[in-house]
Structure 1
Amino acid sequence: MNGQGQGYVVHEGCDHIFFIGFLGAGKSTLARNLGALFRRSFVDTDRLVERARGKSVCDIFAEDGQDCFRRDEAAVLRGLAERKSLLVSCGGGIVEGRESCRLMHQMGTIVFLDGDLEDSLRQIRHPELRPDFRCAKDAGELYRYRYPLYQREADLTLDIRNKTFDQVCSMAGALLWEEGLL
């Protein structure tokens, strides 16, 4: 960090904040809202992969497979290295890619939005657009598999259980401000 600029912390180098968590945790909405509040740009790794490949995440999974998608995810992250101060909403499975995890740690801070499976299932509006969501039973297995990966990669954890979105946004903003990240 090199001080203050117009009331905001100005960081040296790459200082992204990566939001990780299960499907429906609110990562994209949180990144967008915090970006508006703190005048920081936000990106969504799934949307960046879709733009780079010219097809949907579901089509990439179906036509090219998960391993290909994880390589695309890492490539997108490498492309963020030249940018500064992004709020990055990550796909729910990004923690399955070793290179992606390494890149996120190199480029910034990883925040785990820690919620319950039931809350996530309630938030998923279009399950047909989620390539790793086939049914509630499969989602439960996936949640149990990924949960320790989220915990392992997290620099900071935000418990979102039984919280409204406004509460989560306020808590996240306060935590990141206190940590000198916003």
Structure 2
Amino acid sequence: MQVSSNRKGYVSHEGCDHIFFVGFLGAGKSTVARNLGRLFGRAYVDTDRLVELACHESVAQIYEAEGENAFRDAETVVLRGLARRKSLLVSCGGGIVERRENGQLMAHMGTIVFLDGCLDDSLRQIRSLSRRPELTTLDDAPALYEHRRPLYEAVADVTISITGKTFDEVAQEAGCILWERGLL
């Protein structure tokens, strides 16, 4: 990706320059993307919401009616569609890393930020399992977390610890790191 400054002092990125936020359920991906979007005047999207709009069903309904593979297919289609847009802050569903292709797509389109924390950090934020169809009970969470954590680590360009921090603190840290790298 080439970066240049125009005469007004704004940074202009050539090509697709999204910032993708990945992490376990409840890591604060949507909140951080939304906060940074407001702070830096960039649009933000949520892949789960984009899938729901495309399919006219909730994530839970897709899982129930068609299964996880159908949801993952729709998720990959939505992700591919982001290549036609520029400068998005993208909150990704917790399982987006389940498909290697998704990691490759995100890497091709921009920078991947892993919001990393222990399982307890994430579980504190989960209010209802009805929007988390990957988890039938919280007893399933440790195994899912252990399975996904190395997948997040493998795709991440930047890792930010969420442990002991508020979402505002995480957003500020992410903003500083991404600004310093010329990505915001």
TM-score bucket of the superposed structures, by smaller chain: over 0.9
Q: Is residue 121–residue 162 contact of structure 2 (8 Å, CA) maintained in 1?
A: no
SS at match of 1:80: helix
Partner of 2:136: 134
- 2:126 pairs with 1:124: yes
SS at match of 2:84: coil
CA distance in 2, matches of 1:177, 1:146: 28
For the structure 1 residues 144 and 40, does the alpha-carbon distance in structure 2 shift closer, same or farther, using more than 3 Å as the test? Answer: same
For the structure 1 residues 31 and 132, does the alpha-carbon distance in structure 2 shift closer, same or farther, using more than 3 Å as the test? Answer: same
Of 30-39 and 3-12, more deviation after overlay is shown by 3-12
Question: Shift of the alpha carbon at 1:169?
Answer: 1.2
Question: Shift of the alpha carbon at 1:9?
Answer: 2.1
* Equivalent AA in structure 2 for residue 163 of structure 1: K
CA distance in 2, matches of 1:75, 1:110: 18
CA distance in 2, matches of 1:69, 1:49: 8
Partner of residue 78 from structure 2, selected from 62, 76, 79: 76
- 2:93 pairs with 1:91: yes
TM-score (norm 1): 0.96
CA distance in 2, matches of 1:5, 1:103: 32
CA distance in 2, matches of 1:65, 1:178: 41
CA distance in 1, matches of 2:160, 2:20: 13
SS at match of 1:138: helix
Deviations 1:76-135 (A, max 9, x none): 011111110000000000000122111101100000000111111110122221111222
Aligned residues: 182
Deviations 1:27-67 (A, max 9, x none): 00110110010010000000000000000101111111111
Partner of residue 49 from structure 1, selected from 48, 51, 54: 51
- Which blocks of at least 5 consecutive residues in structure 1 are unaligned? none
SS at match of 2:87: coil
Partner of 1:62: 64
Deviations 1:129-177 (A, max 9, x none): 1111222220111000000000001011001111122211110100110
Partner of residue 18 from structure 2, selected from 1, 16, 27: 16
- 2:108 pairs with 1:106: yes
Q: Is residue 26–residue 126 contact of structure 2 (8 Å, CA) maintained in 1?
A: yes
For the structure 1 residues 140 and 172, does the alpha-carbon distance in structure 2 shift closer, same or farther, using more than 3 Å as the test? Answer: same
* Equivalent AA in structure 2 for residue 36 of structure 1: R
Partner of 1:32: 34
Provide the aligned C-alpha RMSD in A. Answer: 1.2
